[in-house]
Amino acid sequence: MGDTPVLWVGEPFTVAGRGFWAKLEGHNPGGIKDRAALHMVRAARERGQLPPGARIVESTSGTLGLGLALAGVAFGHPVSVVTDPGMEPQVAGLLRAYGAEVHTVTAPHPVGGWQQARRERVAELLAAHPNAWCPDQYHNPDNVAAYRPLAHELVAQLGRVDTLVVSVGTGGHSAGIGRVLRSFFPALRVVGVDTCASTIFGQPAGARLMRGLGSSIYPRNVAYELFDEVHWVAAAEAVWAARALARTRYATGGWSVGAVALVTRWVARTSPPEERIAAVFPDGPHRYVGTVFDDDWCRAHRLLEHLPAEDPQEIAWSGETVVTRWTRCERVERPAPATRDGSRGTAETAR
Ligand SMILES: Cc1ncc(COP(=O)(O)O)c(C=O)c1O
């Protein structure tokens, strides 16, 4: 786990003379979240929050589940993963193969969506298993600290980083990598990538096809002060980029890799040629064979009908409009309570 390679992504994915470095976290056994899972479990054991042999229970759309299954095997803990029907059957199958129990909630919470429904199921499982521990990836500072080594790897591999492009789900890897890199390079530009219909940067919650990045709650781990700009990307745009990367560079991934690649391609084209740009690719393509890379599935979801624009739509602040296609905003703020439509009063929004 760790010490993943970087890959130069240039022409023809980008325009001549421009490119970026992709940190290939798909080279970890499960994906980027192996780092978070192992670190959170190790820290909880050291603090006595997770007694030897006690159960680990967590809500995840998959990648952290694979990491927790790895931690469960490594440290000797049973693992229960709570997910929703959007989890790819291959991932659920792999989790069971690695010894984890998979619990699937069947209906979204009327206000907090699937994430809130999953968290309520987690609470039930914690109550049913004395000594069980929940890493609570959305709010656990160890989920941020886990990514410090990744930042140091980038410094060793690239020498200098001028721009970092990162997807945001729980906020863990953007906060962990961004803070360390900014301490090395104070002028670092940090570009956040989210999905349309995600609440993280102040948009209203909506139905989301893309998994991994985005959220329907307000994770405390998101380091708003770090970001110079945020881009929201739609599913069809991420599919186009993930497929273009596969054809041109062989290294690809799923929703977050596609979204990050689309944005970084634009950052590379619009930055001076000497700018050193790093993009984090959280996982590889395998679990997306039945979705992002499946023509019938993509056609059924109308994801193959348009090419993305060459440039994002620009808005001055998140509340200006509800975004439905690739959009950029240079004003990044923690969503104010007034914009947290209907979500006030849930555990996730209490700070
Ligand atoms: C595939 C994938 N991409 C991106 C992310 C977002 O990462 P973070 O939770 O560190 O913000 C996740 C998180 O689960 C993920 O699984």
66-93 pLDDT, tens digit each: 999 999 999 999 999 999 998 999 999 9
pLDDT of residue 35: 98
Instruction: Looking at the structure, tell me whether residues 285 and 183 fall in a common domain.
Output: yes
Instruction: Looking at the structure, tell me whether residues 155 and 304 fall in a common domain.
Output: yes
Task: Taking residues 239-267, report their average pLDDT.
Answer: 98
Q: Give the end of a domain, one of 116, 139, 162.
A: 139
Q: Provide, rounded to the nearest whole percent, the portion of the chain with pLDDT above 70.
A: 96
Instruction: Looking at the structure, tell me whether residues 164 and 241 fall in a common domain.
Output: yes
Q: Is the CB of 171 under 6 A from ligand 1?
A: yes
Instruction: Looking at the structure, tell me whether residues 68 and 189 fall in a common domain.
Output: no
Q: Give the end of a domain, one of 124, 139, 154.
A: 139
Q: Tell me which of 25, 27, 28, 32 to substitute to probe ligand 1's pocket, judged by most ligand atoms within 8 Å of the beta carbon.
A: 32
Instruction: Looking at the structure, tell me whether residues 11 and 129 fall in a common domain.
Output: no
> Which of left, alpha, beta for 142 (phi over 0: left; psi -120 to 50: alpha)?
alpha
Asked whether residue 348 is domain-assigned, the answer is: no
pLDDT of residue 337: 61
Q: What angle do CA 246, 97, 57 make, to 5 degrees?
A: 100
Asked whether residue 188 is domain-assigned, the answer is: yes
Instruction: Looking at the structure, tell me whether residues 153 and 120 fall in a common domain.
Output: no
> Distance (Å, rounded) from C-alpha 69 to C-alpha 78?
8
Asked whether residue 340 is domain-assigned, the answer is: no
Q: What is each CA distance from 170 to 218, 249, 270, in whole angstroms?
A: 9, 28, 28
Asked whether residue 237 is domain-assigned, the answer is: yes
Asked whether residue 186 is domain-assigned, the answer is: yes
Instruction: Looking at the structure, tell me whether residues 107 and 151 fall in a common domain.
Output: no
Instruction: Looking at the structure, tell me whether residues 50 and 194 fall in a common domain.
Output: no
Residues 129 and 139 sit within 8 Å (Cβ to Cβ): no
pTM here is 0.94
Residues 56 and 100 sit within 8 Å (Cβ to Cβ): no
Q: Is the CB of 172 under 6 A from ligand 1?
A: yes
Number of domains comprising the chain: 2
Asked whether residue 349 is domain-assigned, the answer is: no
Q: Tell me which of 148, 213, 233, 257 to substitute to probe ligand 1's pocket, judged by most ligand atoms within 8 Å of the beta carbon.
A: 213
pLDDT band at 347 (very low <50, low <70, confident <90, very high): very low
Q: Which atom of ligand 1 is nearest to the CA of 257?
A: 3
Residues 254 and 245 sit within 8 Å (Cβ to Cβ): no
Q: Is the CB of 213 under 6 A from ligand 1?
A: yes
Q: Is the CB of 119 under 6 A from ligand 1?
A: no
Q: Is the CB of 170 under 6 A from ligand 1?
A: yes
**123: domain range?**
33-139
Q: Is the CB of 169 under 6 A from ligand 1?
A: yes
Asked whether residue 339 is domain-assigned, the answer is: no
Cα of 167 vs centre of ligand 1, distance in Å, is: 7
Instruction: Looking at the structure, tell me whether residues 190 and 301 fall in a common domain.
Output: yes
CATH classification of the domain holding 12: 3.40.50.1100
Lowest-pLDDT range of 18-27, 50-59, 60-69, 109-118: 109-118
Report which protein residue has its CA nearest ligand 1's atom 16.
212
